[in-house]
Structure 1
């Protein structure tokens, strides 16, 4: 009798172990999969197609959905996603979006690119520099948007290069790869391009000196092979100086408003440099 009881107890314990559901948080620790990165990024003559890996998150979903991008000032844009996530780039508080964003990104080249006292109502404050002596490393999903960064060096006040002081932030949403180059001070190398991947939409500084010269910046934009180029950070030289660096392979247009709505399907077939009002 006793062996039979022990056998029944053992069987019950075994079934509980097999049938008991696994903790759901075990799936949450997996990092999101970028749809913008590809080995082909290191090949300068490759034209990149949009793709969605089977394991991609819902942050990289529907090709017909639109992202609204508004130029706020200097290098601050406000992006509003199909699910209502609002993101302000290079947020300093100097150029205030019309509402408190859900996410802000910052770079520390100058005080016009960051603030150490952001509104407490901002849920996610992403520094483009490391606060612990290590390079900034962001991989975060907010609503329908996957946000990551690639660090680059910046010039310090004395002129020397400071490692990893700037971040290029990449926003993957609605099937789009949107990049903000921040305060880019040097041309990117093959490793940078591979980490960034493709950028359908890219926001580029065009001051011609405070960040990087217009000719160097034109080479970066050409290598990124973006469909929509949004100039920003213009001080001093007219934006036409930047436009003159690009040949017949690019269309140029001055917008009649300070914003643009873009989807994967509405991207221009020919690369377009689109100057929003206020730049």
Structure 2
């Protein structure tokens, strides 16, 4: 009888557990961050909480990344989610995006009139906020989050949190887009970003940051696949010259690359897609 009573009490304790602790089990945790981060309330878009636990789980799946123009890439996930980065409405992706991300620095990085049918428009800035935009969204098989950074205003003064580095976690990959990055990152920002397997980086030589400063960010992040974007003026060779023998470089006649955990380069590789 004592054993039976103990069993009954144990079962009752499980069912009496607070709902908050049960809900914590359903919260997706970033695979990419170097340190634990207390996530705010996560928005589950188009999937149930239990399905969100399976996000990023299938590392044998492939992600297609197409360079569209300027700083817009079109990301197609195994689950059919379509994402356009720094969407401005000028550079049209091959299909209507499910999600678009935007940044504030210039009108070539956002639009006030996104196409009807785009389900999620994620701004990399938030007016009136001291901490900037804060996105933690699960859409289909993809977890999307951001790390705010500052931008340089037209007068030269820095404006807090006007840009976001967007991070897309899907198929076991950590894919990061630096947006219109205007300064080298802090230790806190590097920790919040964590691991990036694929890095989309502006190589304009100074409209964002000088090539030397940007190269230091790239070397610190140590991504396996580096996709240049936002090239204005200087030849791509100027950016490539910032890197030593530890980096490989590939020039592609195609604007699309297909990526999976299994086919990531063994050495950090700067992959120059057609159109850059």
The two structures have a TM-score, normalised by structure 1, of 0.84
Q: Which residue of 1 aligns with 2:265?
A: 268
Q: Which residue of 2 aligns with 1:106?
A: 102
1:124 aligns with 2:117: no
* Whole-Å separation in 1 of the counterparts to 2:195 and 2:24: 26
Deviations 1:225-257 (A, max 9, x none): 100000000010011110010110000010120
Q: Radius of gyration: which is bigger?
A: 1
1:143 aligns with 2:146: no
For 1:156, which of 153, 156, 165 is the aligned residue?
153
**Residue 116 (structure 1) shift:** 1.1
1:75 aligns with 2:71: yes
RMSD: 2.5
Deviations 1:16-64 (A, max 9, x none): xx979x989x738954200001149xxxxxxxxxxxxxxx832211111
For 1:59, which of 55, 62, 87 is the aligned residue?
55
**Kept after mapping to 1: 8 A contact 2:26/2:53:** no
* Whole-Å separation in 2 of the counterparts to 1:31 and 1:152: 25
Question: How many residue pairs get matched?
Answer: 250
For 1:174, which of 167, 171, 174 is the aligned residue?
171
Contiguous gaps of at least 5 residues in structure 1: 1-17, 41-55
* Whole-Å separation in 2 of the counterparts to 1:57 and 1:201: 22
1:206 aligns with 2:203: yes
**Kept after mapping to 2: 8 A contact 1:176/1:200:** yes
For 1:222, which of 189, 213, 219 is the aligned residue?
219
Q: Which residue of 1 aligns with 2:80?
A: 84
**Kept after mapping to 1: 8 A contact 2:35/2:192:** no
The two structures have a TM-score, normalised by structure 2, of 0.85
Deviations 1:134-162 (A, max 9, x none): 41000000000000000000001110000
Deviations 1:96-130 (A, max 9, x none): 11111000000010000001111121100000001
* Whole-Å separation in 1 of the counterparts to 2:54 and 2:87: 26
SS at match of 1:158: coil
**Residue 132 (structure 1) shift:** 4.2
